Structure 1
Amino acid sequence: MPTTLDLAHLLSSTSHEDFSGRRALSDVSLSVIKARRIVVVSGAGISCSSGIPDFRSPQGLYSLVKAKYPDQVVSGKELFSSSLFLNPSTSSIFYTFIAELSLQCQAAQPTKTHHFIARLETKGKLLRSYTQNVDGLERRLGLESGGRGKGLKKKETKNVELHGDLGRVRCVVCWKDYETREEWVKMFRDGDAPDCPTCQDRCEERISRNARLTPIGTLRPSIVLYDEPHPLGDDIGQLQTYDMSRSPDLLLIMGTSLKVHGLKRLVKEFAKVVHGRNGKVIFINQTAPSKEWQGIIDVHIQGETDKWVQKVEEEWKKIRPGDWEMQMNLDGEVV
């Protein structure tokens, strides 16, 4: 099994018995400092301190949905299932839930972990970031995330949104993609889906020349649900293949439980390439990895990602202060 380091305990301990653990923690930081081509894979855990409420607490999003639809029983997994669209009542629940999530994401702020990923990019260390999150917090920090009608680019795209983009909507008929509008979010919050403007324009144009009417699709959030393909799935596959050919030397997995099949495959393929270059696979998460990850994950940092990245940056500044002086010159401010 991977070596497990209890982050909170080691950060607070001065005991001689914990010396080897503290040394191992510093060795992980050193791996980040020395790495030149880092791949980051992240999940919901890196956004916990952003202000986005969790799903299950009394003030969580599930509770808000249940209050609006007391007669409906929908599990958390079902809220992200494509089968929701087979039933008008469950699709209304989905729209309400996603609207609440969208509003919370708009009000949220990027975390220390998001800033850390962005710094890896400004320092020329980030090969690519792959995230399961749909909150768009990486975009806020200037990490080019592609999509939005422009596809994904091998060199320009720095962050790949594996589960889509909550800031966009798309038509279920013509697949036209739009930036989310405030009035549409309000309709979603009421459980309704807006009509697609492109379909409407096409239908009106056909009416003007007495042609047969075409269907008008509705808009849905442009996120990827269970059991449905990613609209940019082929592009993501090509980026992953390209990134593996660029010899990544460190894989950081942060804030994800590694339960989704597609993500597990992506991590295992990157880990194989990283190990081929004698690099490390580091897993930073509150919960431990399962036995499935034996021989794949080298070190498990058990704790909050924000606290770990703060530790890494503190040691980075001590070991290579010149890296941070250059950051001041480039940005014109102290980070």
Structure 2
Amino acid sequence: MSVNYAAGLSPYANKGVCGLPEVFDSPEEVRAKVETLAQLIKESQYMVVHSGAGISTSVGIPDFRGPKGVWTLEEKGELPHFDTTFEDARPSLTHMALLGLQRAGYVKYLISQNVDGLHVRSGFPRDILSELHGNMFVEQCEKCGRQYVREKVIGVMGLKPTGRYCDVVRSRGLRACRGKLISTILDWEDSLPVRDLNKADEASRRADLALTLGTSLQIKPSGDLPLLTKRNGGKVVIVNLQPTKHDKHAHICIHSYVDEVMKQLMELLGLDIPKWEGPTVCESSTPTSEHSNDHKVINKAFNKVCHVAAPLLKALFITICPRSHSYRSRL
């Protein structure tokens, strides 16, 4: 639960501005803005999405700076309310819509500040996903860098050892790596994962459209990444109920529930929202196994036909051209 995640962090004074009032656009305004967003997406060559805690509130995981967020209630001396655990939480409509947009070729890269693991559990490809603050279900070998996605929450935070060891076999005849596995969850003063941050930075600079969903964009450097798109001539679209620090840089600001925006967006794009069928981990965005297997089957069948047909064709060739049979057959 996000409250347990928050409780596991070290004390920290500067948690950003909490409890800002929410703003709601009229249904007509939302529709008009989503129509504009849909057109921008159709015209985009490289869209990057930035997601925050606001995309998980509809499935019972509290955000941090909303009116009922963890940090907001903490400032008031109140305890947050939660409706689910990380293990039991199901991806929201927004999580699944993003998967649909990725499969349709619209989302090229996803940058998330969330630790709930719902992007990974939804089936979103991990090779085009940067989880800048870690994942409650992922532990990593501090020696070789191999990551393990678990079914249960790791239970350790702050990049600390989990008590398990890496089982990657380095080469034939050598024992497994046996490096210590550590959590991927950052504490306040921990540095962001270099590989994820570099990929997020590169994607943000390359993007011609940055779509931010459910994030106040307050935490650096994650919150400033959409500005890289803006500085390189791209557009920024912000979907959030509260004002963000970068609203003035946005081409459009949509003040509505993220799930409602994504539902309308998928309808306008003529796309179905994939159904969630349980936790699914997808490592690569490149179609490999199914298509590769098809090619293997076709090649195998072709070779078999050639093997059977070659003697018959050779005999036919000798019959028709008896003086040419001394030449080596190419079949």
Name the TM tier (shorter chain): 0.5 to 0.7
Rounded to whole Å, the distance in 1 between the matches of 2:139 and 2:213 is: 27
- Counting aligned pairs with the same residue, the percent is 26
> Could you say which residue in structure 1 is the equivalent of 2:60?
51
Aligned with 2:92 (options 101, 111, 132) = 111
Among 194, 209, 221, the residue aligned to 1:250: 209
How many residue pairs match? The answer is: 231
Q: Does 1:281 align with 2:281?
A: no
> Following TM superposition, by how much is the alpha carbon of 1:173 offset from its aligned partner in structure 2, in angstroms?
11
Is this contact kept in 2: 1:50–1:109, CA < 8 A? yes
Distance 1:35 1:179, change over 3 A: closer
Q: 2:238 is paired with a residue of what secondary structure?
A: strand
What is the CA-CA distance between 1:75 and the residue it aligns to?
A: 5.5
* 2:132 matched residue in structure 1: 162
Deviation at 1:112, TM superposition (A): 1.1
Counterpart in the other structure of 1:29: 38
Aligned to 2:264: 311
Q: Match for 2:121 among 135, 140, 143?
A: 140
Q: Which residues in structure 2 correspond to 1:72-87 (within 5 Å)?
A: none
Q: Are the structure 2 counterparts of residues 111 and 30 from structure 1 closer, same or farther at C-alpha, using a change threshold of 3 Å?
A: same
Ranked by relative contact order (alpha carbons within 8 Å, sequence separation 6 or more), the top structure is 1
Q: Unaligned stretches of 5+ in structure 1?
A: 1-5, 63-73, 77-96, 146-156, 200-216, 318-322, 325-329, 331-335
Q: Distance in 1 between matches of 2:140 and 2:215?
A: 27
For residues 183 and 264 of structure 1, the distance between their equivalents in structure 2, rounded to whole angstroms, comes to 26
The answer on whether the counterparts of 1:7 and 1:301 sit within 8 Å (CA) in structure 2 is no
Rg: which structure is higher? 2
CA 248–197 in structure 1, closer or farther in 2 if over 3 Å, else same: closer
Q: Specify every segment of 5 or more residues in structure 2 that has no aligned partner in the other structure, as ranges.
A: 1-21, 167-178, 273-286, 288-331
Does structure 2 retain, via aligned residues, the 8 Å contact 1:39–1:252? Answer: yes
Is the Cα–Cα contact under 8 Å of residues 216 and 244 in structure 2 kept in the other structure? yes
For the aligned residue pairs, the C-alpha RMSD in angstroms reads 4.2
Contact 2:54–2:258 (CA<8 Å) still a contact in 1? yes
Please give the TM-score of this superposition, normalised by the length of structure 2: 0.57
Q: Which has the higher helix share?
A: 1
> How big is the shift at 1:32?
2.2
Query: Relative to 1, partners in 2 of residues 1:183 and 1:256: Cα closer, same or farther, differing over 3 Å?
Result: closer
In the other structure, the counterpart of 2:184 is 222
- Output the CA distance in 2 between the equivalents of 1:39 and 1:45: 17
The 8 Å contact of residues 110 and 137 in structure 1, kept in 2 or not, is answered as yes
Distance 1:315 1:7 in 2: 24
Q: 1:267, 1:171 → 2: CA distance? A: 30
